[in-house]
Amino acid sequence: MAYADRHIAENQSLSPEDLLATFTEFAAVSISRSIRGCIPILNEITTLIASGGGVRNKALMERIRANLPSGLRLAVSDEFGLPAQYKETIKFAALALAAQLQLANNIPAASGASRFAILGKLVVAPRLARGAG
């Protein structure tokens, strides 16, 4: 927030539309750089699937596409039966299932954790607890 506040203050002469366009471009370039930097086999991929609320922002999606390698299709997860707005819901369900199956559900390289671990706590509804009448 401090970063955004500083740049808004420094660019008071810009219209709100220009400021918003600048922040949108910043987000698009940041996302595309992360994709380029974090996917070593990007040249082998033909379709990249996006999800989350940002996919509804046409300007943002257009700018991300423009900053990705040519020939790489940027699709929305809706096309594959996963509604984009349910990204977090699906992720938390996947984390819960991994915990239930006793599978590590963290990524040490992404979080700085020292090892793989099972995160989260599974809580059984009282009516489902053993001995519940």
Give the separation between CA 23 and CA 25, rounded to whole angstroms.
5
Q: What is the pLDDT of residue 21?
A: 93
Residues 72 and 99 in one domain: no
The parent domain of residue 62 ranges over 1-82
Report if residue 131 sits inside a domain. no
Report if residue 59 sits inside a domain. yes
Report if residue 109 sits inside a domain. yes
Q: What is the pTM of this model?
A: 0.71
Identity (one letter) of the amino acid at 119? Answer: L
Identity (one letter) of the amino acid at 123? Answer: V
Report if residue 107 sits inside a domain. yes
Residues 59 and 39 in one domain: yes
Scored b (16 or more CB within 10 A) or e, 70-101 reads: eeeebebbeeeeeebeebeeeeeeebeebbee
Residues 57 and 115 in one domain: no
**Residue-wise pLDDT tens for the chain (133 aa)?**
898 889 889 988 999 999 999 999 999 999 999 999 999 999 999 999 999 989 999 999 999 999 999 999 999 999 999 999 998 999 899 999 999 999 999 989 888 899 999 998 888 888 888 876 6
Q: What is the pLDDT of residue 130?
A: 81
Report if residue 112 sits inside a domain. yes
Residues 47 and 75 in one domain: yes
The contacts of residue 52 (CB under 8 Å, 6+ apart) are 84, 85, 87, 88
Report if residue 3 sits inside a domain. yes
Residues 106 and 57 in one domain: no
Q: What is the pLDDT of residue 123?
A: 85
Residues 19 and 78 in one domain: yes
Q: What is the pLDDT of residue 133?
A: 61
Report the number of distinct structural domains present in the chain: 2
